[in-house]
Amino acid sequence: MALLSVRDLQVDFTTRNGRVTAVNRISFDVESGKITAIIGESGSGKSVCCYSLLGLLPTPPASVEHGTAHFEGRDLLAMSEAQLREIRGRDIAMIFQDPMTCLNPYMTIGEQLIEPLVYHRKVSKAAARERALELLGEVGLRDPAATIDQYPHQFSGGMRQRVMIAMALINEPKLLIADEPTTALDVTIQAQILALVAELQRKRNIGVIFISHDLSVVADIADEIVVMEKGHLVERGDRAAIFERAEHPYTRKLLDAIPAGSKAPSSEVRDDLITVNHLCTWFGQGRGREPLRAVDDVSFTIQRGEVLGLVGESGSGKSTIGRSLLRLVPVTSGEVLFDGTDVTALEGVALKQMRRRMQMIFQDPYASLNPRMSVYDTLAEPLLLHGIESRKTVEQGVLKLMDDVGLARAFVRKYPHEFSGGQRQRIAIGRALATRPEFVVADEPVSALDVTIQAQILELMLELGREYGLTMLFVSHDLAVVRHIADRILVLFKGKVVEQGTGETLFERPQQEYTRQLLQSIPGRALLA
């Protein structure tokens, strides 16, 4: 018998505009010792489905309308809150996307680990601490004895996620629900966490529900895959069936959205638009401390019309390079020649004019748009500022931009919160293009988006790049994405360029150990190759 068996689950939300069915008659099983992946875009109901099982949804507005969920023979949906509390954290544990917001910053990780053990198992504090140390070792924390009394901010994102996993496992749960546990992490860290989850699950013979928007993430670890679209279960099958013989068009769309292949590099010889010589950007860390060398003696060129990919983990300085070129952070030394002019020396009017020629597209389309400005105001601002349109013609300019980035004109008066992530990123792209720039820095423009949306935005950027004749610096931690869009790729490690070349040469013949490591971290490599 299955460990968890969900039948005909339906969850509705009551909203201002009436009832919305978020999960529509879903049935699936989770077996002990197997990983069941639930895949879908945001809004597909994949998280709602799992949260409703544990009574974690606020009711109202949510309500479970129908269905059963038998866990070891008992129906979770029929349990009282008190009974559920017994099961949550003890028999069923969860790990979440953002480990920082799930850990209490004012408690050491040791205290947080021991708490559920003392609460659920009534063991002594000393015994609980022993157990916690053992588990921290098991999830791969170096030197648990030294780190158990540290606070969450002293750990990196990957380490925090390991702590979260230890916390989830401390009560020996039979079922682990992982909600996008690697989405906020770098590729290399993601690979480690995925391997850890798979290993722990095998060793302990527990069932795992792994929620993700990205099929490639689960390509190496999932036994069963459930694909959801708009609250419906559209396809279910084992891993091989989904990856090799997917039948539903939506599953195929998800598979197609996984970026693959290298862009064929252009053979044309063009002049250099941007030349970066010995760029250093250091951040002071207070008196008497060594400055943080975010960018350390980096030199490269970008040809006119070229897309240069910049790849590295968080902390490698890749975003800082982009911001240095645009004068958004002060440069410590070195020069950035834009069409022959040293950008780092510009001030006042000259700087303002230069800003018109180079623009930025940011990572988080939720933070990069002013929440109190409508699409119209957001797009009209740069047009008017640089005198590209007059007060009389600005309206046409705004509508033209909306057409270019594929936003319906009827949305012109709407505010950012009324749009989805992909639409917001289109607005942000429109704003960047408004000044008719020659050069655009795109800082992880698709990493906050669902895979299918990611593919659309990448397509849009390539298309607009051609249309506007843009030169682009494309910053990303995701090698597969960069390979898809960039003519040439720079690999960055700790503020230095370690390797550069075309996508094909890097992928086929990586010279450096670090590049090789990055390549091996790409999830689902074996299946997708």
* Residue 526 touches another protein, criterion: CB under 8 A: no
Residue number, 19 or 417, with CB nearest to another protein: 417
Residue range at the interface with another protein (CB under 8 A); choices 237-245, 260-268, 358-366, 446-454: 358-366
Retrieve residue 163's tokens: 């702590």
Question: Is residue 42 classed as helix, strand or coil in its secondary structure?
Answer: coil
- Shortest Cβ 237–another protein spacing (Å): 39
- Shortest Cβ 399–another protein spacing (Å): 7
* Residue 151 touches another protein, criterion: CB under 8 A: no
- Shortest Cβ 382–another protein spacing (Å): 5
293, 356, 436, 525: residue in contact with another protein (rule CB under 8 A): 356
H or E element in which residue 116 lies:
helix 109-121
User: Kindly report the CA angle at 427 between 421 and 433, in degrees rounded to 5?
Assistant: 140
Mark residues 230-259: x for contact with another protein by CB under 8 A, - for none. ------------------------------
Mark residues 56-95: x for contact with another protein by CB under 8 A, - for none. ----------------------------------------
- Shortest Cβ 157–another protein spacing (Å): 19
Retrieve residue 242's tokens: 């989904």
Residue range at the interface with another protein (CB under 8 A); choices 83-91, 171-179, 262-270, 346-354: 346-354
* Residue 107 touches another protein, criterion: CB under 8 A: no
68, 374, 420, 452: residue in contact with another protein (rule CB under 8 A): 374
- Shortest Cβ 16–another protein spacing (Å): 6
337: left (phi over 0), alpha (psi -120 to 50) or beta: beta
Cβ-count burial 261-293 (b if 16+ within 10 Å, e if not) = ebbebeeeeeeebbbbeebbbbeeeeeeeeeeb
* Residue 346 touches another protein, criterion: CB under 8 A: no
- Shortest Cβ 330–another protein spacing (Å): 12
237, 259, 382, 445: residue in contact with another protein (rule CB under 8 A): 382
Residue number, 278 or 413, with CB nearest to another protein: 413
H or E element in which residue 464 lies:
helix 451-468
* Residue 364 touches another protein, criterion: CB under 8 A: yes
Report d(CA 432, CA 426) in Å as an integer.
10
Residue number, 355 or 484, with CB nearest to another protein: 355
Question: Do the beta carbons of residue 266 and residue 462 sit within 8 Å?
Answer: no
In DSSP notation, 386-397 reads TTSS-TTTHHHH
Question: Do the beta carbons of residue 163 and residue 147 sit within 8 Å?
Answer: no
Report d(CA 44, CA 337) in Å as an integer.
47
- Shortest Cβ 236–another protein spacing (Å): 36
- Shortest Cβ 431–another protein spacing (Å): 7
Sheet strands side by side (includes 496-502): 358-361, 439-443, 471-476, 307-311, 488-493, 496-502
- Shortest Cβ 77–another protein spacing (Å): 31
- The closest of 94, 26, 23 to 63, measured between CA atoms, is 23
Report d(CA 459, CA 361) in Å as an integer.
15
Retrieve residue 19's tokens: 């009832």
Question: Is residue 152 classed as helix, strand or coil in its secondary structure?
Answer: helix
Number of residues written out for the chain: 529
* Residue 373 touches another protein, criterion: CB under 8 A: yes
- The closest of 381, 404, 406 to 394, measured between CA atoms, is 381
Residue range at the interface with another protein (CB under 8 A); choices 129-137, 180-188, 298-306, 372-380: 372-380
Report d(CA 273, CA 340) in Å as an integer.
8
* Residue 314 touches another protein, criterion: CB under 8 A: no
Of residues 386-425, which lie at the interface with another protein (CB under 8 A)? Answer: 386, 395-396, 399, 409-410, 412-413, 415, 417-418
Mark residues 422-441: x for contact with another protein by CB under 8 A, - for none. ------x--x---x------
Residue range at the interface with another protein (CB under 8 A); choices 144-152, 155-163, 302-310, 378-386: 378-386
31, 381, 388, 468: residue in contact with another protein (rule CB under 8 A): 381
Of residues 13-32, which lie at the interface with another protein (CB under 8 A)? Answer: 16-17
* Residue 358 touches another protein, criterion: CB under 8 A: yes
* Residue 367 touches another protein, criterion: CB under 8 A: yes
Report d(CA 498, CA 510) in Å as an integer.
11
- At what angle are helices 421-434 and 451-468 packed, to 10 degrees? 20
Q: Output DSSP code: residue 528.
A: H
Size of the site for another protein (CB under 8 A): 43
- At what angle are helices 421-434 and 375-385 packed, to 10 degrees? 20
Tokens 């590729």 -> residue: 187
Binding site for another protein (CB under 8 A): 16-17, 323, 326, 328, 351-353, 355-356, 358-360, 362-364, 367-374, 376-377, 381-382, 385-386, 395-396, 399, 409-410, 412-413, 415, 417-418, 428, 431, 435
